[in-house]
Amino acid sequence: MLLLEVISGERLAKPERGKMRVHKISNVNKALNFIASKGVKLVSIGAEEIVDGNAKMTLGMIWTIILRFAIQDISVEETSAKEGLLLWCQRKTAPYKNVNIQNFHISWKDGLGFCALIHRHRPELIDYGKLRKDDPMTNLNTAFDVAEKYLDIPKMLDAEDIVGTARPDEKAIMTYVSSFYHAFSGAQKAETAANRICKVLAVNQENEQLMEDYEKLASDLLEWIRRTIPWLENRVPENTMQAMQQKLEDFRDYRRLHKPPKVQEKCQLEINFNTLQTKLRLSNRPAFMPSEGKMVSDISNAWGSLEGAEKGYEEWLLNEIRRLERLDHLAEKFRQKAAIHEAWTNGKEEMLQRKDYETASLSDIKALLKKHEAFESDLAAHQDRVEQIAAIAQELNELEYYDSPSVNARCQQICDQWDSLGVLTQKRSEALQRTEKLLETIDQLYLEFAKRAAPFNNWMEGAMEDLQDTFIVHTIEEIQGLSTAHEQFKATLPEADKERQAILGIHNEIAKIVQTYHVNMAGTNPYTTINPQEINAKWDKSFQTNIDQALIEEHARQQNNERLRRQFANQANVIGPWIQTKMEEIGRISIEMHGTLEDQLTHLRQYEKSIVNYKPKIDQLEGDHQLIQEALIFDNKHTNYTMEHIRVGWEQLLTTIARTINEIENQILTRDAKGISQEQMNEFRASFNHFDRKRTGMMDAEDFRACLISMGYNMGEAEFARIMSIVDPNRLGLITFQAFIDFMSRETADTDTADQVMASFKVLAGDKNYILADELRRELPPDQAEYCIARMTPYTGPDAVPGALDYMSFSTALYGESDL
């Protein structure tokens, strides 16, 4: 009873003073009842056996007392008794070599474990460096003597017994070690403080690494955008279709190979930023503010500029290809018309400059006059061709044809020659008119032949130009229109053939008259250079072109283009609505509540997998789009979806599902870090959804006020303004679900604060206003001790000593309350 009073600090019932057996049994029962009142269950220990001197029962009772009053109250990280004491020993001896505490028997035989415990807490009592593992007797006796002399721990064990026994008594060693625990219990507070600091520093180190990763990824992405935009904004045109096709192929490689990884990097950057901000909020740290120009909004703006330049570059490429195609067609048409005109004008100036009328007879003059009239008719007929040549040259200049100087020079030469022909024609006409009165004879048949042959010849030349001219169409309707026009032209051929026969009949009539009347005709028809052989040759040549085959081939090409249009449209009309439907479904999932957050996360990841599995159809559509571009198809009436729409929709879908998954993960982080139950999380979500009347995933200020009132908040305008500054720091007037969860979790959970960390440092410093580097290295893990030493400023208070560090300003800096 006296032993129990000493170790418990309580008074027991008054003992019996008699010496009889019954008195002794009564006193032992009082002691046993006191032990039982402390929650100790006594099994097979009776007062009679104790009084009778049963050594086994007596030792059992003493061990029960030791367990209850010396060992049972030991607790380390939610463990108790034996496990807690063993964990305490392992942690205290972990830094020491040759010490490996795994039990309470053979791990202590070499004595180094006891010496390590003493040195860890009182390093001045033992020179641990001089101890040897192969000298257990010296180690044990040193530990026992020092513990008895300086720590007031009785010498409960015998060194010879421990060394000479294969397995020392576990209970004896546990009892003796518990004395060390109680002797050094004050150091346990320092360990707890160190653990708190380790936890805070670990969070800070992890956040700093995330910030560095964000800065690097943002810098790399912005640098890539900075290098890519000038390339996309380069609008220097090429002179050939082949060069522009190569530019288009390079652009396709950019879209197919270079851009998709950067889209993924941008999405990952936003996810990392949101995760970092969530972790900072959960640990009561200030929000992360990236370097200037590297905000998520800056990256989004740069990305928008990139996509704007990309869209403009693609439109420019397609317009340039259309322009070059048009230029090639116009240039060829210009060369054909110029060659025909130059062939016609060849020798006309020399002819107009002759003065044969001065020595000609009257009949010759009449002939020359009629011939000149026919020439003027022919000249007027060629006026349209000259105007066409000038118009084509003008259009080539407007479209910036690369060989415009040579075109302009040739056109100017034709126009100058045409003006010269006009002047010469006018002069010759005036000269012939002056001498017309002197001339009489005229051959009407020649004149009629010339008048009819000239326009007919011009018509044949025009027909030859039209049949030999190249054409360009983009739709089946256009090629069908050309085919119809060609059929209409062929329908006019019988009437033209009648005109040809009539012209040839005039020539035959002339020959008949000459043969009949033996007229001596010198030379050819004086009114025209056209002869029947030339008419027949041009007539035969006009219908040897392969225009029908060209129309058939072009019709087949347009049919193939139409097939490509329908093939693309059939897929686009399915994929476009599918993407829109998936976007709407993701929106519903993010609002509705079905199961736990883990269930929602699993559902979203399965949903993401199904979306990714849809990628081959997007790739197939890209292939069809490439075929359409290679075929130079610029419109598609069968669908309102373009490849650009599908690409943007697909990228938005991938970004939306990734962002939604990240929001659920952040909610899980918030729930676990704040200790919020699933029921609370569901209640928060239900409240948010109820007051999110517009179903946009955000509440306005009035809806948020109503939500808080419904949850029991009684607040004035000032308090509500304070809450709004927390959930809506940017003052947008909108509260997201994540901000709502952060606020509610902050209201319902406890977190580390700067004051708590400062108090922990003060424990490690022994209540001093400063702390030494050696104290940090002794109590903290090496990497976190060096982390603190590198960032703490020197202490400058009145009680400062050399090497003193200011842990107060360091603690506040961890939570953004002062500059580090």
pLDDT for res 749: 55
* DSSP conformational letter for 154: -
Strand runs labelled E in 757-801: 793-794
Q: At 475, is the pLDDT very low, low, confident or very high (cuts 50, 70, 90)?
A: low
Q: At 519, is the pLDDT very low, low, confident or very high (cuts 50, 70, 90)?
A: very low
Residue 184 three-state SS? coil
Q: Residue 340 contacts by C-beta under 8 Å, 6 or more apart in sequence?
A: 385, 461, 465
480: Cα separation from own chain's centroid: 47
Distance CA 617, CA 603 (A): 23
The answer on pLDDT for 748 being more than 80 is: no
Q: At 753, is the pLDDT very low, low, confident or very high (cuts 50, 70, 90)?
A: low
Span 153-171, average pLDDT: 88
Span 661-676, average pLDDT: 76
Q: At 352, is the pLDDT very low, low, confident or very high (cuts 50, 70, 90)?
A: confident
Distance CA 693, CA 749 (A): 28
CB-based contact 173:108 (threshold 8 Å): yes
Q: Residue 430 contacts by C-beta under 8 Å, 6 or more apart in sequence?
A: none
* DSSP conformational letter for 110: T
Q: Which amino acid is at 680?
A: Q
pLDDT for res 365: 74
- Percent of the chain clearing pLDDT 70 (strictly above): 85
Q: Residue 364 contacts by C-beta under 8 Å, 6 or more apart in sequence?
A: 356, 357, 439, 526
Highest-scoring range by mean pLDDT, 287-291, 691-695, 766-770:
766-770
Q: What is the pLDDT of residues 543-568, one digit of tens each?
A: 555 566 666 776 677 778 778 888 88
Q: What is the pLDDT of residues 250-269, one digit of tens each?
A: 878 888 888 899 888 888 88
Q: Residue 428 contacts by C-beta under 8 Å, 6 or more apart in sequence?
A: 352, 372
CB-based contact 689:629 (threshold 8 Å): no
- Give the number of other Cβ atoms within 10 Å of residue 255's Cβ: 16
pLDDT for res 476: 65
Q: Residue 322 contacts by C-beta under 8 Å, 6 or more apart in sequence?
A: 634
The answer on pLDDT for 166 being more than 60 is: yes
The answer on pLDDT for 471 being more than 60 is: no
Residue 594, burial from CB neighbour count under 10 angstroms (0-12, 13-18, 19+): exposed
Q: Residue 204 contacts by C-beta under 8 Å, 6 or more apart in sequence?
A: 285, 814
pLDDT for res 598: 81
Q: Residue 49 contacts by C-beta under 8 Å, 6 or more apart in sequence?
A: 57, 58
The answer on pLDDT for 819 being more than 80 is: no
Average pLDDT of every residue of the chain: 81
Question: How far, CA to CA in Å, does 395 sit from each of 178, 330, 404?
Answer: 103, 8, 10
CB-based contact 794:809 (threshold 8 Å): no
Please name which of 775, 764, 774, 768 lies closest in space to residue 799, comparing C-alpha atoms: 768
Please name which of 618, 615, 590 lies closest in space to residue 603, comparing C-alpha atoms: 590
Please name which of 647, 656, 475, 640 lies closest in space to residue 573, comparing C-alpha atoms: 640
Distance CA 477, CA 179 (A): 103
Show the tokens assigned to 797: 């208070």
- Give the number of other Cβ atoms within 10 Å of residue 513's Cβ: 14
538: Cα separation from own chain's centroid: 67
- Give the number of other Cβ atoms within 10 Å of residue 477's Cβ: 9
Distance CA 653, CA 645 (A): 12
Q: At 817, is the pLDDT very low, low, confident or very high (cuts 50, 70, 90)?
A: very low
The answer on pLDDT for 248 being more than 90 is: no
Q: At 358, is the pLDDT very low, low, confident or very high (cuts 50, 70, 90)?
A: low
pLDDT for res 124: 92
- pTM: predicted TM-score of the whole model, two decimal places: 0.37
Show the tokens assigned to 96: 């020491």
Q: Count CA atoms closer than 13 A to 464's CA, side-chain side.
A: 17
Residue 708 three-state SS? helix
Q: What is the pLDDT of residues 367-414, one digit of tens each?
A: 888 888 898 888 888 888 888 888 888 888 887 777 788 888 888 888
The answer on pLDDT for 520 being more than 50 is: no
pLDDT for res 820: 33
Please name which of 561, 574, 567, 575 lies closest in space to residue 623, comparing C-alpha atoms: 567
pLDDT for res 111: 92
Q: What is the pLDDT of residues 430-470, one digit of tens each?
A: 887 775 654 343 356 767 777 788 887 787 777 666 655 55
In the beta sheet, which residues pair with residue 793? 806
CB-based contact 169:66 (threshold 8 Å): no
Q: What is the pLDDT of residues 118-138, one digit of tens each?
A: 998 899 999 998 999 999 999
